[in-house]
Structure 1
């Protein structure tokens, strides 16, 4: 390690001496007293990883130390997390690549055991359980049985990884949601590691392959969600390139009023930050209000960073963080190290201390927070509880307009003409109601627009929070005592974030009350919030289809995008767990719960929400009496061991994985086929054809395979050819370990528009072959394979913000496997550009003001890309040859931004770079 600024110091804690890189020592050279907490974490990271310039040099350290809060991000730095957290959907491809690298390093003369994560890497299996069974005592057991049947191949593979890989651990299914397990058990807050014979202490920082990794920000751990390629790079010891960010300060004062929950607070914060605009920025919470904000509430706010658009939403280390560490069963030695290190580094927060300098500052008095929901299709669209009915009636109108008969349409027009000044709700109320009569649970009932067909206490955001979970339980107790029940058409479910939650609900005596209202535990994992909501009861499904009803879900999740929760549910509202229970009883969102009764008690009296809502004191007293360290200690004592189902799975043994050629889930990818020890060069591209000509804001969702696999798609045909019936397709997410499935789904989004085709949506292109001609329309995958057989390289041409959205590794992996050598775009989303480099696809950017349109490109051209000069040139020349023989020549920027990226690219990608480096060590 280089130490240009002589900041190494010693810290004595628990009778042990730790070496650390001192921020106060650096502060003797630079004034860092006003740096935000998160910037200090970045600064320490650079100090510790300074290596003379390959990744970090003194100029990077100076750039952060002299951080200009108002400057637009422009300086690239390398960030190396302390550990990686994976979930199973995104984690399986990472382990597949590690297994493939073990085979490849053996062929290069190395040994399989050389390929291991270089930093602690933990995978939590939480994305595979679905709510197939609900509302009954055996729902947990039956859903678990179905989960293991569906995912046997994937779980067998992960069990191999658990035993074969060093520095890699797996938290088995039926344990909890990754972010809650991370918060309750995996997070260290301060790491310790022996390096070159010295015991080092440094901040716990984390990359996670799930966007809600930011939940860990609540306890002072800097981390965020990344794609699989970035995660793999970090696991293999390679830093990630990032721009020095702006940091938005969010000052919290006051405390939550009676009746308001942490969910209401985070929905308010999300709305405020979305309106301000924090995409690509850090958000940091401070102020005297922190002393009234329990750690669980902080974690709830940090969790929803993706929803308000920030890279992270972090809180500092303070006495509340220590209290939570003690509550969750961490050792006293670890707690002492966290406190001593944070204080020594100036990372400790005390009420009333001087404020840091921020790029911008927002303020919220928490006393002003009111009960809220968000919806019906975006998490930032907050609506007050008192306005939900009006919100529903306004938003349902366009969803049902197509159902009107000509007579109803004329009647509506007459009404609007006569009463045009009336609110939307009145206009809607004037129309004839549409309903479907169904028979369910031995009752004849009616469902209509706004009927709540899913009420789910689910997702990491809220199921980690004792206040809202026990609040839901106490509300259920009060409701059950009055004889209230959920509407018979509501699919109710309870997906606790960990087994600790179930234990304290049982200890408080409210689990029975939740079950009386249908909220039986259905699984420990990310269920309804990611669309694993399972099928609706057949009668409900038929009733929806009969009149094309616009029904609703109410869930305690963090995402409610169109089509995400359930294909048959058009309106989705995020709410606190107590409100989920309330709406299950009401059975509709077409109600004002602040004024109208939920239902009637046994004596026929109206029962209002206010009658059964628990007080803040009641909730607080229940938490104090039920939530203690012993619950965490007993549930996490053997967290990596698993249950009987997990331990009975057959899995291969040995340092190298025994690939099953018949598997349609796990396959050895072709990235390293034919690889040698010789490092390549960055060569010109000659005679390339355009695979896709795309517009602005092409997201990774457009590029990367996601969701259901269609029967007649290339991926669907592939599976059927191998004996997989459409009913057993599962999803692209579950098959991310099979490149043959995933490459067939790349650029296959039903909403993508290839401008080479007029008015056609979906993953199609024109294939011109060797001789050009008019071009034949076909699936992008099919055309790419024909071009590959012809020996013709491919390019993608796009507009602004190419690759925006979540950092999906398959958006880059699939592009590579299709044979795309370069992407020419007006601008790139930062992470996707980095992922393309990591997979050996060259990102090229049009000069300012130039575009495909300005150059008259229509996708019929052949392209030569020259002047790359083995990566040393910052510009290249593109010659586009049209079918008529004319040419268009223009310059582009070569978006290899650092020397390390040039090295990655010469090697064919980041994994190839690491492979050769390790193989050389063996030699």
Structure 2
């Protein structure tokens, strides 16, 4: 009898009987209290699939015998309950599925076998841009522009919704994927008919956005994966992983007055980054957890990628049920959730107090203070009282760096910081909206209440509204150079702000609704007014953005803005009033009232009691039920999109959606793995190169290879849109690979952007042009990199783009988890320098030839043979970062999608 049959038992809730796989019956030696919540969920997953080939008894035994003394070497297969996508990463995923149907047909298979086997929800939320702002018509205009720009993509997604089973699309204008997931899609406990019986099991998921982790705030295990991995999960492939290391973070105390959940998450992010949780799972427990609402928990869980963890999981408890009830879930299902969680010993923070974690740390919530983070990394927290000084100090450091390097060739990539123009001090004379003003260094030119991180949290949005109300009463105005915007993650936000009378207060300061979706945080901040943009560029000013988001990486928010700060929504409003990062908003006035008296932040800041009272009053269940009652209905514009009902997609002549070449020449059996001989280095990079550096999502520069391609296709510059919106067209995306304006390639010293030098003659050219030349000459290429290669968003094009440029391998000091997985998923070999070694150890300058022997299953190390121009050769030992047997199979097949197709053909 299979183990899962032995542990099946029944649970009766409100007179209904359910089947489930009882963890308490697995093994008499198992003490469930010693298992972290993560281990319990993974154990249940293995038990439920114990009769399938990807689960071995040894895998189950390894979890039962939970060993927190060391990292596990046991690989397990995790089958998520569902998959969630957003449109930037979702469009290429659906493009790949459509192309896989073509490939199946070409190879003599049944194309309709290419179909999601798990529930898949795609939320269109990443395409809205802040073109118009500061007016009552901003939302209307931005929505119209969005649909016009993205009509071809939306038609394609609408085709996919009809063509594929188990695939639903939430049309544009509904909200941000993670907030919709939290407020509507999440089940917490699945109820599914299995073998004729109603069966209970944990809601788990993977998503094509790194901030999928926001759902951990509801006690749901889920995390971000690359689009490639998600496609495989949709098609029934398990996510393979080593049994994770789990770190427990104990929270004690309560947040003090004057602080927000944003301040808390910035403290958590800083602390966990310093502690070191990259690739690990984090769980929160302790008395402090009980004082955090689900909205607060979700704020912390959202930023797991920023503190480096795979996820940041909270327990299921009374707060969970309160939130689910508020957001309109049925009471009968809430009863099931509570009964199931208690039966499986997954209920409450107390269930984790005895868990055996690999590491533990703690945070006293009462020590949290008002903070921001920046200027370029989420983990670089700055106490608000020190923010002005920190900005000035940073400017001084950049100037010293510039002076130190001004007479020498720049030879080192610095992903943090850039060249500044701060000496002598300059002023740009600007005019906008009939107002003339001087624009100076430190000017806040973007103030955005945006993103999933904070707009899911009523307390911080109500706080922003109350601060705006008091500012209006005193006659304060936002500075004329500040581009203000408000992009909530859910339509419910507008409802409760309207009910509180705070929408008009925010509007009066220019924080009008610009759209429901991920805007500034993803780089969709839209253009600055032309006079301000020209002033910044002509004077070489270092200006700032302040946003209530989770990402502030270099070059991400806006190309004119070199410093970006994460802050709570009320602080975003405060900085818009102050207008400059050099102002200490904790001690200097934000402006003057009608009588000319100075007004300080303390005069505007609402009390915790004010906020709590208003949240309780205005955030109502009916709002959620009404707004989510028609969540899959798109209205007149969406309904007017014409699509056919074909099984195989009829690829149009489109610059947004184009059949990818990944399966061209594919055979029914994989070819033997080949050695990489005499490759050239395409890029030599240093530490913290992000997926934004590799594959930017923002605006397409006018003088780039991607722009040249679009012009040749008859696209006007005004319609270029963003890289993110054109991810369904490989021609654009391969030209945009390594095209971030802040990228510094050591092969092209003194440059920023997508530049390199063609070897062996050293001619400077674009990365794309060099790659095309190497491919034409039959020369493979490699990338040499430093630490934390691929940090940031789970961006599949950061792996697809390099493949299309002809890159066969990356040799780095270390990798971010998702990006390493994505490289393998596209058939690119990830190698890692031995601990303590780097390109500098071997004095590599990128002019060499690189050869790598063919790798084989189970291999842990391989040698990179380097030949210098002088003829000297050296052998560099490297770690082969294909970590599991499943990953090797993906690599052997040339990629995960080829593996899936061949399995289906077989």
Q: Is the TM value for this pair above 0.5?
A: yes
Distance 1:686 1:378 in 2: 36
User: Which of these residues, 895, 898, 901, is aligned with residue 909 of structure 1?
Assistant: 895
Residue 15 of structure 2 corresponds to residue 6 of structure 1: no
Residue 508 of structure 2 corresponds to residue 516 of structure 1: yes
User: Which of these residues, 733, 745, 748, is aligned with residue 742 of structure 1?
Assistant: 733
CA contact 1:81–1:205 (8 Å) conserved in 2: yes
In the TM superposition, residue 50 of structure 1 has moved relative to its aligned partner by 3.1
Residue 674 of structure 2 corresponds to residue 684 of structure 1: yes
User: Which of these residues, 490, 494, 498, is aligned with residue 502 of structure 1?
Assistant: 494
CA contact 1:688–1:864 (8 Å) conserved in 2: yes
**With structure 2 as the length reference, what TM-score do the two structures score?**
0.90
Secondary structure at 1:151 match in 2: helix
Secondary structure at 1:493 match in 2: strand
In the TM superposition, residue 613 of structure 1 has moved relative to its aligned partner by 2.3
Partner of 1:329: 328
Partner of 2:39: 39
In the TM superposition, residue 652 of structure 1 has moved relative to its aligned partner by 3.4
In the TM superposition, residue 84 of structure 1 has moved relative to its aligned partner by 1.4
Distance 2:673 2:298 in 1: 48
Secondary structure at 1:492 match in 2: strand
307-316 or 106-115: bigger deviation: 106-115
In the TM superposition, residue 439 of structure 1 has moved relative to its aligned partner by 3.8
User: Which of these residues, 581, 603, 619, is aligned with residue 627 of structure 1?
Assistant: 619
In the TM superposition, residue 919 of structure 1 has moved relative to its aligned partner by 3.4
Distance 1:349 1:276 in 2: 25
In the TM superposition, residue 486 of structure 1 has moved relative to its aligned partner by 2.1
Distance 2:248 2:858 in 1: 40
In the TM superposition, residue 830 of structure 1 has moved relative to its aligned partner by 4.3
Distance 1:435 1:151 in 2: 39
Cα distance 1:236–1:69, how it changes in 2: closer, same or farther (>3 A)?
same
Cα distance 1:283–1:882, how it changes in 2: closer, same or farther (>3 A)?
closer
CA contact 2:860–2:881 (8 Å) conserved in 1: yes
Cα distance 1:367–1:893, how it changes in 2: closer, same or farther (>3 A)?
closer
CA contact 1:206–1:222 (8 Å) conserved in 2: yes
Q: How many residues align?
A: 887
CA shift digits 1:195-244 (9 cap, x unpaired): 34343321111212212111111110111222111111111111222232
Partner of 2:666: 675
Distance 2:114 2:305 in 1: 32
Residue 636 of structure 2 corresponds to residue 644 of structure 1: yes
Distance 1:909 1:269 in 2: 36
Residue 207 of structure 2 corresponds to residue 208 of structure 1: yes
Secondary structure at 1:449 match in 2: coil
Distance 1:878 1:865 in 2: 5
**With structure 1 as the length reference, what TM-score do the two structures score?**
0.88
794-803 or 77-86: bigger deviation: 794-803
Partner of 1:92: 91
Partner of 2:355: 356
In the TM superposition, residue 813 of structure 1 has moved relative to its aligned partner by 2.0
CA shift digits 1:886-909 (9 cap, x unpaired): 876787766554443344344332
Distance 1:804 1:510 in 2: 38
Partner of 1:303: 302
Partner of 1:814: 801
In the TM superposition, residue 323 of structure 1 has moved relative to its aligned partner by 0.7
Cα distance 1:198–1:838, how it changes in 2: closer, same or farther (>3 A)?
farther
Partner of 1:720: 711
In the TM superposition, residue 780 of structure 1 has moved relative to its aligned partner by 4.5
Distance 1:147 1:502 in 2: 20
User: Which of these residues, 551, 562, 567, is aligned with residue 570 of structure 1?
Assistant: 562
301-310 or 860-869: bigger deviation: 860-869
Secondary structure at 2:329 match in 1: coil
Partner of 1:900: 886
Residue 546 of structure 2 corresponds to residue 559 of structure 1: no
88-97 or 525-534: bigger deviation: 525-534
Residue 512 of structure 2 corresponds to residue 490 of structure 1: no
CA contact 2:254–2:364 (8 Å) conserved in 1: yes
CA contact 1:802–1:828 (8 Å) conserved in 2: yes
Cα distance 1:131–1:777, how it changes in 2: closer, same or farther (>3 A)?
closer
Counterpart mapping for 1:10-29 below 5 A: 10-29=10-29
547-556 or 895-904: bigger deviation: 895-904
Partner of 1:136: 135
Partner of 1:188: 187
In the TM superposition, residue 632 of structure 1 has moved relative to its aligned partner by 0.2
CA contact 1:708–1:730 (8 Å) conserved in 2: yes
Cα distance 1:725–1:349, how it changes in 2: closer, same or farther (>3 A)?
same
Partner of 1:374: 373
Distance 1:386 1:62 in 2: 52
Partner of 1:50: 50
Distance 2:651 2:691 in 1: 29
In the TM superposition, residue 384 of structure 1 has moved relative to its aligned partner by 2.7
Secondary structure at 2:33 match in 1: coil
In the TM superposition, residue 432 of structure 1 has moved relative to its aligned partner by 9.8
Residue 441 of structure 2 corresponds to residue 449 of structure 1: yes
Counterpart mapping for 1:49-88 below 5 A: 49-51=49-51, 54-88=53-87
Partner of 1:610: 602
Cα distance 1:776–1:293, how it changes in 2: closer, same or farther (>3 A)?
closer
Cα distance 1:379–1:231, how it changes in 2: closer, same or farther (>3 A)?
same
Cα distance 1:368–1:879, how it changes in 2: closer, same or farther (>3 A)?
closer
Partner of 2:258: 259
Distance 2:355 2:728 in 1: 45
Secondary structure at 2:269 match in 1: helix
CA contact 2:679–2:851 (8 Å) conserved in 1: no
Residue 231 of structure 2 corresponds to residue 232 of structure 1: yes
In the TM superposition, residue 514 of structure 1 has moved relative to its aligned partner by 1.7
In the TM superposition, residue 149 of structure 1 has moved relative to its aligned partner by 1.4
Partner of 1:832: 819
Secondary structure at 1:85 match in 2: strand
CA contact 1:374–1:381 (8 Å) conserved in 2: yes
CA contact 1:4–1:58 (8 Å) conserved in 2: no
CA shift digits 1:342-373 (9 cap, x unpaired): 11111001559744232332222222322222
Partner of 2:521: 529
Distance 1:546 1:866 in 2: 51
CA contact 1:867–1:877 (8 Å) conserved in 2: no
**Structure 2 unaligned regions, length at least 5:** 404-422
CA contact 1:684–1:864 (8 Å) conserved in 2: no
806-815 or 781-790: bigger deviation: 781-790
CA contact 2:241–2:884 (8 Å) conserved in 1: no
Cα distance 1:80–1:12, how it changes in 2: closer, same or farther (>3 A)?
same
438-447 or 629-638: bigger deviation: 438-447
Distance 1:796 1:387 in 2: 39
CA shift digits 1:572-597 (9 cap, x unpaired): 32222222222222333333333333
Distance 1:863 1:481 in 2: 67
Partner of 2:466: 474
Partner of 1:414: none
Cα distance 1:345–1:378, how it changes in 2: closer, same or farther (>3 A)?
same
CA contact 2:675–2:854 (8 Å) conserved in 1: no
In the TM superposition, residue 7 of structure 1 has moved relative to its aligned partner by 2.4
